[in-house]
Amino acid sequence: MALGERGGWDKSESRYCGVETDFNDDMPHLLSFNLSSGGFDFVVASLMDPNYRPSLMEKDIGGGSHVLPFAGSDLVLSPSQWSSHVVGKISSWIDLDSEDEILRTDSETTLKQEISWASHLSLQACLLPSPKGASCANYARCVNQILQSLNNMQGDSWELWNSFRLLCEHHSQLSVALDVLSSLPSANSLGRWLGEPVRAAIIHTDSFLTNARGYPCLSRRHQKLITGFLNHSIQVVISGKLNHGVPSVSLDSALDHTGTNVESSQRHSLRPYLDYIAYLYQRMDPLPEQERFELSYRDFLQSPLQGHNPLFHIISDEFCTIEFSNYYLSFQPLMDNLEAQTYETFEKDSVKYIQYQRAIGNALVDRVPDEEASSLTTVLMVVGAGRGPLVRASLQSLVRLEGWEKTVTIVSCDMRCWDAPEKADILVSELLGSFGDNELSPECLDGAQRFLKQDGISIPSSYTSFIQPVTASKLHNDVKSHKDVVHFETAYVVKVHSVARLAPCEPVFTFTHPNFSTKKSNQRYKKLRFEIPSDTGSAMVHGFAGYFDAMLYKDVHLGIEPSTATPNMFSCCASSSVCFVESYFDTGLQIPAWFAIFFPLRTPVCIRPGSPLEVHFWRCCGSTKVWYEWCVASPNPSPVHNSNGRSYWVGL
Ligand SMILES: C[S@@+](CC[C@H](N)C(=O)[O-])C[C@H]1O[C@@H](n2cnc3c(N)ncnc32)[C@H](O)[C@@H]1O
């Protein structure tokens, strides 16, 4: 019976109230008295008789090697009663720093026994008595020793891993193997590991259940976890002894993994566990075609502007393997012209054009009444037409081919300085990057709206960028490998896969078109707060994944923000690099979707539940360039990244 609900109050542990109790060896009675009748949520209870002393026990039995049981039975309460309702109170007489050697030794033995008993019971916590004197060195040493070996009690193994890797300065060669125990922490707590360099998951045979036929199997939650690991290239290791009375194999023989008959005596005793993991693996859904093709792009940083592009190291799939070396990329979305292959890529994205077609159709229906449909001329301009998929014409020859000479006029110039002969009813554009405004759509459309009628429609009518904090150790290490600040102050286009999304996305910058206000500015500043769910535990933030969502017209939208993403979008990578790769494959497969953007942090920030992450993002505009700056203000301030656009900018 928690204290109750409070408006606006989080679901923190503080809503539970416990009661400290005296020693009572009738634990069920203690619990029912304090919980059912008393209304408390948990008891802080001694786990051992306060008169117990290991040295006395030995005397009692004549100093022999036998040690009498020092605690009651774990069966008196159910596992969930122990773990949810009992906090262990460690014997108050213990004095680890006593001058009296017998007392000190007794204290050490008792402390270890009590903690290991509490750990066996899966108690959430133990309350230790305060040190008896000014000196507490031996007490601390014993507690520290115990902490090192704890696994069942709610010691968060992530914390231990985190301390270790901080001491090793996030070394890229340091990976972690996870022990999968029979009880699992919350899904959020487990989710953190997906952004960490987890190489292996060690599953002890004790963690397996037994199915109706006597074979080992895993709980639903374990199955989900293992499938998630397999999907993130984390290898499974089985550990322990055969714990299941697996039915004997008929005719004393069985098939080994190659299908060969083997004598049951030669069969590996842990084979049933392997078979079960294999069953889980085979039961996984096959990767959709698009995902399959995108495998080689997972977690590879593509610099949208300049620098060495790791994407070009090895791209492989079942069709071919190509090695690219030291390909230097320099691409500016507004300043540079795109290659034909890039347009080819854009044009393959049928979903994008379907969404545009719906938006344009709806706008035309709204703007032109039925009775005027044959008499009213509507001027529709596509700005930034590329090869013309939005009007199906970009070259004069194509216009002739399509017989569109009378309806389509092609103008080749910068939309920001074109003097239009007449004004448009509808202005259609697609100038969006992974972060929405990062390819300077706002600046281009500001120029182009001069030739949009006052009551004209812009498609898109608005777009918003989003970010969320992520654990992304691989991306962080890849940025770090350049050994300079410039790469930490650059945003990258990347298909994020091995990342832990720590909190839901928050909107960052919104642009609305047309905007005829005389006071408008494309500079933006946003302060954001992210709170990680309380059951996540602490987590490391390596940077921010960024996305966009665009309202094309009314409710027709297009975007990649995970919670609302348009399904089945293929192309529109912000960098021409991807298209370059595609031409080598020529497999007929589609190329990657509009990937996310990644803003790294020079020094990863550790966040804890209950202490929010405060982030600041700026969009800055100069006379020749636009750039982003970003920083963390809390819990620990980071430097402002990319000050004055010194490392990363988009040219006007
Ligand atoms: C993302 S592509 C879209 C092309 C085409 N609409 C499509 O969907 O395939 C953006 C296009 O806008 C053009 N563009 C960008 N800024 C421009 C400007 N200021 N004036 C004219 N064209 C511009 C680029 O050259 C490129 O062709």
Q: Are residues 180 and 194 in the same domain?
A: yes
Active-site residue, 430 included: yes
Q: Is the pLDDT of residue 256 over 60?
A: no
Q: Are residues 336 and 432 in the same domain?
A: yes
Give the span between the Cα atoms of 527 and 549, in whole angstroms. 19
Measure 153 CA to ligand 1 centroid, in angstroms.
58
Q: Are residues 607 and 521 in the same domain?
A: yes
Measure 12 CA to ligand 1 centroid, in angstroms.
50
Site to substitute for ligand 1 among 381, 415, 438, 570, most atoms within 8 A of C-beta: 415
Task: Say which range, 186-200, 399-413, 467-481, 588-602, has the weakest mean pLDDT.
Answer: 399-413
Give the span between the Cα atoms of 342 and 333, in whole angstroms. 12
Report, as an integer, the average pLDDT of 137-146. 83
Asked if the structure places residue 607 within a domain, the reply is yes
Report, as an integer, the average pLDDT of 268-282. 90
What is the 8-class DSSP label of residue 248?
P
Q: Which atom belonging to ligand 1 lies closest to the Cα atom of 572?
A: 1
Q: Are residues 315 and 278 in the same domain?
A: no
Measure 456 CA to ligand 1 centroid, in angstroms.
20
Is-contact 613 460, C-beta < 8 A? no
Instruction: Provide the greatest CA pair distance for the chain.
Output: 112
Q: How many domains does the chain have?
A: 3
Q: Which atom belonging to ligand 1 lies closest to the Cα atom of 414?
A: 20
Q: Is the pLDDT of residue 576 over 70?
A: no
- Helix, strand, coil shares of the chain as percentages rounded to 5? 30, 25, 45
Which pLDDT score is estimated for 575? 34
Give the span between the Cα atoms of 541 and 635, in whole angstroms. 11
Which pLDDT score is estimated for 75? 85
Asked if the structure places residue 347 within a domain, the reply is yes
Measure 386 CA to ligand 1 centroid, in angstroms.
5
For residue range 108-131, list pLDDT tens digits in order. Answer: 999 998 988 888 888 878 888 888
Measure 629 CA to ligand 1 centroid, in angstroms.
25
What mean pLDDT, rounded, does the chain reach?
81
Q: How many residues does the chain have?
A: 652
Which pLDDT score is estimated for 604? 97
Q: Are residues 351 and 276 in the same domain?
A: no
Give the span between the Cα atoms of 244 and 386, in whole angstroms. 65
Q: Are residues 233 and 307 in the same domain?
A: no
Residues having CB closer than 6 A to ligand 1 are 334, 338, 343, 346-347, 384-386, 389-390, 414-416, 430-431, 444
Is-contact 627 620, C-beta < 8 A? yes
Q: Are residues 522 and 563 in the same domain?
A: yes
Q: Which atom belonging to ligand 1 lies closest to the Cα atom of 384?
A: 12
| Choice among 114, 196, 294, 439 that is catalytic | 439
Q: Are residues 590 and 505 in the same domain?
A: yes
- Protein residue with least CA distance to atom 21, ligand 1: 414
Report, as an integer, the average pLDDT of 213-233. 92
Report, as an integer, the average pLDDT of 370-379. 83
Asked if the structure places residue 54 within a domain, the reply is yes
- Protein residue with least CA distance to atom 23, ligand 1: 384
Report, as an integer, the average pLDDT of 255-262. 49
Measure 138 CA to ligand 1 centroid, in angstroms.
70
Q: Are residues 67 and 93 in the same domain?
A: yes
Angle at CA of residue 473, ends 301 and 598, nearest 5°: 40
Q: Which two tokens stand for residue 350?
A: 């049928």
Q: Is the pLDDT of residue 263 over 60?
A: no
What range does the domain containing 620 cover?
289-652
Asked if the structure places residue 252 within a domain, the reply is no
Higher pLDDT among residues 385 and 388, named by residue: 385
Higher pLDDT among residues 84 and 339, named by residue: 84
Asked if the structure places residue 256 within a domain, the reply is no
Measure 637 CA to ligand 1 centroid, in angstroms.
39
Measure 331 CA to ligand 1 centroid, in angstroms.
14
Which residue among 95, 129, 149 closes a domain? 149
Per-residue pLDDT band at 266 (split at 50, 70, 90): low
Give the CATH number for residue 219. Answer: 3.20.20.150
Report, as an integer, the average pLDDT of 46-74. 69
Which residue among 256, 283, 310 closes a domain? 283
Residue 471 burial (C-beta neighbours within 10 Å; 0-12, 13-18, 19+) = buried
Question: How many CB atoms sit inside 10 A of residue 303's CB?
Answer: 25
Q: Which two tokens stand for residue 490?
A: 């650059």
- Protein residue with least CA distance to atom 27, ligand 1: 386
For residue range 435-460, list pLDDT tens digits in order. Answer: 999 999 999 999 999 999 999 999 99
Q: Which atom belonging to ligand 1 lies closest to the Cα atom of 443?
A: 19
Q: Are residues 174 and 312 in the same domain?
A: no
Q: Which atom belonging to ligand 1 lies closest to the Cα atom of 338?
A: 25
Q: Is the pLDDT of residue 264 over 60?
A: no
Asked if the structure places residue 258 within a domain, the reply is no
Which residue among 117, 149, 181 closes a domain? 149
Asked if the structure places residue 25 within a domain, the reply is yes
Crossing angle of helices 137-149 and 101-120, rounded to 10°:
30
Site to substitute for ligand 1 among 344, 408, 444, most atoms within 8 A of C-beta: 444
Per-residue pLDDT band at 347 (split at 50, 70, 90): confident
Complex confidence, ipTM: 0.96
| Choice among 114, 294, 430, 489 that is catalytic | 430
In 3D space, the residue among 256, 249, 253, 251 whose CA is nearest the CA of residue 275 turns out to be 256
Asked if the structure places residue 407 within a domain, the reply is yes
In 3D space, the residue among 313, 334, 303 whose CA is nearest the CA of residue 651 turns out to be 334
Give the span between the Cα atoms of 511 and 520, in whole angstroms. 10
For residue range 594-633, list pLDDT tens digits in order. Answer: 899 999 999 999 999 888 999 999 999 999 999 999 999 9
Q: Is the pLDDT of residue 257 over 70?
A: no
Q: Are residues 569 and 645 in the same domain?
A: yes
In 3D space, the residue among 536, 528, 533 whose CA is nearest the CA of residue 599 turns out to be 528
- Protein residue with least CA distance to atom 22, ligand 1: 384
Per-residue pLDDT band at 34 (split at 50, 70, 90): confident
Active-site residue, 291 included: no
Q: Which atom belonging to ligand 1 lies closest to the Cα atom of 382?
A: 6
Which pLDDT score is estimated for 365? 85
Which pLDDT score is estimated for 253? 46
Give the CATH number for residue 508. Answer: 2.70.160.11
Task: Say which range, 38-42, 206-210, 280-284, 318-322, has the weakest mean pLDDT.
Answer: 318-322
Q: Are residues 311 and 428 in the same domain?
A: yes
Which pLDDT score is estimated for 200? 86
